[in-house]
Amino acid sequence: MINIVLRDCIPLADNDFIYDSWIKSYSNSGFSRGIPTSLYVVGQRSRIDKILGSPPTKVTIATNPEEPSVIYGYSVITGENILHYLYVKNAFRKLGIGTQLINRLFGSQVLYTHKSADIWAERILKEDPTFNEWMYDPYVLEI
């Protein structure tokens, strides 16, 4: 496990990284396969705008304790149980950062709106045995 500091998002400092990493990393998901790049980027940016603009959405940033501007990853959670996105830079994966970013959700019935990889689900299941009760709902934003 790596030593990190969790802090709230500072939109002016963090949003470029959040948008860029979310759009690029999710472009490799099964969801986006077959969507022309230009259409995907515009549509995904619009979804992210809607998510980040919906209270009470909270973006939590995992940073280097010595240099808070160095971002390792982030989570985007609305309310008590809607996980929109979890991202950790490749170089810092499998170090417990993702777990620390979402561990407050463990033991809850969670809705998640972005499904990126089955390996992600396997890792969470190791940390939270109730993960099988988590529900993928990409349409929760439409309600």
User: Tell me, what's the pLDDT at 58?
Assistant: 95
Task: Report how far residue 44's alpha carbon sits from residue 118's, in angstroms, rounded to the nearest whole number.
Answer: 21
pLDDT tens for the chain, 143 residues long, are: 789 999 999 999 999 999 999 999 999 888 888 899 999 999 999 999 999 998 899 999 999 999 989 999 999 999 999 999 999 999 998 898 988 999 888 878 888 898 876 555 656 666 766 777 788 888 887 75
Give 97-114 pLDDT, tens digit per residue.
988 999 888 878 888 898
CA dihedral of 33, 86, 134, 119, whole degrees rounded to 10: 60
Q: Write down the pTM of the prediction.
A: 0.89
**Exposed e or buried b per residue across 93-129, where buried means at least 16 C-beta atoms within 10 angstroms of its C-beta:** bebbbbbbbbeebeeeebbbbbebeeeeeebbeeebe
User: Tell me, what's the pLDDT at 125?
Assistant: 62
User: Average model confidence (pLDDT) for the chain?
Assistant: 88
